[in-house]
């Protein structure tokens, strides 16, 4: 049983409360009044699983909050509050100082307030629960992609996975790649700007194809993507030229970019967002009626994304 079947079988029992949209999207949505919904999500980082053992306290703190902010971004929600559950192997003052400073820096940048948490002793693990706000029924969902929508991704894909791959091969990644891996930029401004413009949205945490598939399954649609349109950094381009293997770009995780679908009539508005936010948005394909992802571009190998089980 994989991670997603496990969740579906044992934990998808939100029930029929009309004020709650539960398991299955980047955040749950809870209606708080006639105008607004809370968006909430929790993500855990475990040493040796989500970050290598020698990662600095500052990088761990940044990543722990950034990946959670990314889930708010995927819903188009504005960050408000977070709680922090910290499990530490030992009391290390300099580690804690560095961790807390980096956490505060990112929290201030996104105007999100730490309101509580829990502290325990054990293997290093960081869980953050974020809460944001979005206008009622305006959140970006995985389930609203429409046939004919254009599929976009922000910035470049696969850089973090390439950094990790290099570390595992004992090749030193460039500073630029390493920072994509350790210091992801959550696309909060983009997510908020896409409200009312994108039909469906997800953040790419587990690999472009696997995360796009979550949109496709929940929207009952398919996709055709063009490999030549996938935005790649220079180092990823070189890696693909050398290896003739696209899997790191298509299935590597930890990008924290947004993948979203936009109806053709909203494309001019999207262009304006791209200019206003000075961000690169690339059209990589189309939402279709057929099931699954059809890849155009002559690379047919099945790429496996990370799953915990």
| Complete edge-to-edge strand list for the sheet that includes strand 20-21 | 20-21, 28-31, 36-46, 125-135, 78-88, 113-121
Q: How far is the CB of 160 from ligand ADP (least distance, A)?
A: 14
Residue nearest to Mg ion (CB): 26
Angle at 108 between CA 103 and CA 111, to 5 degrees: 120
Between 159-168 and 175-182, two packed helices, what is the crossing angle to 10 degrees?
Answer: 110
Q: How far is the CB of 79 from Mg ion (least distance, A)?
A: 14
Nearer to ligand ADP, 11 or 176 (CB): 11
Q: Is residue 71 near ligand ADP by the rule CB under 6 A?
A: yes
80 binds, among Mg ion, ligand ADP, none (CB under 5 to 8 A by kind): none
Q: How far is the CB of 24 from ligand ADP (least distance, A)?
A: 5
For Mg ion, the binding residues (CB under 5 A) are: 26, 71, 203, 205
Q: Is residue 26 near ligand ADP by the rule CB under 6 A?
A: yes
Site track 190-209 with ligand ADP (rule: CB under 6 A), x = hit = ---------------xx---
Q: Is residue 24 near ligand ADP by the rule CB under 6 A?
A: yes
Angle at 294 between CA 289 and CA 299, to 5 degrees: 175
Report the run of H or E that residue 98 belongs to, with start and end.
helix 93-109
Nearer to Mg ion, 203 or 209 (CB): 203
- d(C-alpha 196, C-alpha 287), whole Å: 18
11 binds, among Mg ion, ligand ADP, none (CB under 5 to 8 A by kind): ligand ADP
Binding-residue total with ligand ADP (CB under 6 A): 10
| Helices H / strands E in the chain, number of each | 10, 12
Two tokens at 201?
């949205």
Q: Which stretch binds ligand ADP (CB under 6 A): 21-29, 93-101, 116-124, 237-245?
A: 21-29
Nearer to Mg ion, 57 or 258 (CB): 258
Angle at 128 between CA 124 and CA 134, to 5 degrees: 165
267 binds, among ligand ADP, Mg ion, none (CB under 5 to 8 A by kind): none
Kindly report the backbone phi and psi dihedral angles of residue 245, in degrees, each rounded to the nearest multiple of 5, phi listed first: -125, 120
Site for ligand ADP in 39-58 (CB under 6 A): 43
On whether the CB atoms of residues 170 and 227 are closer than 8 A, the answer is no
| Complete edge-to-edge strand list for the sheet that includes strand 257-262 | 198-204, 257-262, 150-154, 281-288, 222-226, 292-296
Q: How far is the CB of 253 from Mg ion (least distance, A)?
A: 11
Q: Write out the residues near ligand ADP by the rule CB under 6 A.
A: 7, 11, 23-26, 43, 71, 205-206
């Amino acid at each position: 049983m994989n991670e997603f079947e496990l969740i579906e079988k044992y934990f998808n029992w939100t029930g029929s409360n009309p004020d709650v949209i539960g398991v299955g999207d980047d955040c749950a949505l809870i209606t708080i009044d006639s105008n607004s919904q809370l968006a909430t999500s929790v993500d855990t980082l475990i040493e040796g699983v989500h970050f290598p053992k020698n990662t600095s306290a500052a990088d761990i703190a940044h990543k722990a909050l950034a990946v959670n902010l990314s889930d708010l971004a995927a819903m188009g929600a504005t960050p408000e509050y977070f709680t922090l559950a910290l499990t530490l192997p030992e009391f290390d003052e300099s580690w804690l100082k560095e961790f807390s400073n980096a956490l505060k820096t990112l929290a201030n940048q996104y105007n999100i307030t730490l309101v509580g948490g829990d502290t325990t002793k054990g293997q290093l693990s960081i869980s953050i629960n974020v809460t944001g706000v979005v206008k009622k029924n305006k959140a970006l969902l995985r389930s609203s992609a429409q046939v004919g929508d254009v599929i976009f991704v922000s910035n470049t894909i696969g850089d973090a996975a390439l950094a990790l791959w290099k570390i595992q091969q004992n090749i030193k990644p460039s500073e630029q790649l390493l920072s994509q891996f350790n210091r992801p930029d959550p696309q909060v401004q983009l997510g908020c700007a896409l409200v009312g413009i994108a039909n469906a949205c997800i953040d790419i945490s587990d690999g472009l194809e696997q995360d796009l598939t979550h949109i496709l399954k929940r929207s009952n649609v398919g996709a055709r993507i063009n490999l030549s349109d996938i935005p790649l950094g220079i180092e990823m381009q070189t890696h693909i030229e050398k290896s003739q293997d696209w899997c790191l770009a298509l299935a590597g995780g930890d990008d924290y970019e947004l993948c979203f679908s936009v109806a053709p009539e909203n494309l001019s508005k999207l262009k304006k967002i791209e200019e206003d936010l000075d961000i690169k948005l690339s059209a990589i394909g189309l939402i279709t009626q057929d099931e699954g992802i059809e890849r155009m571009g002559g690379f047919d190998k099945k790429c496996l994304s990370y799953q915990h089980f």
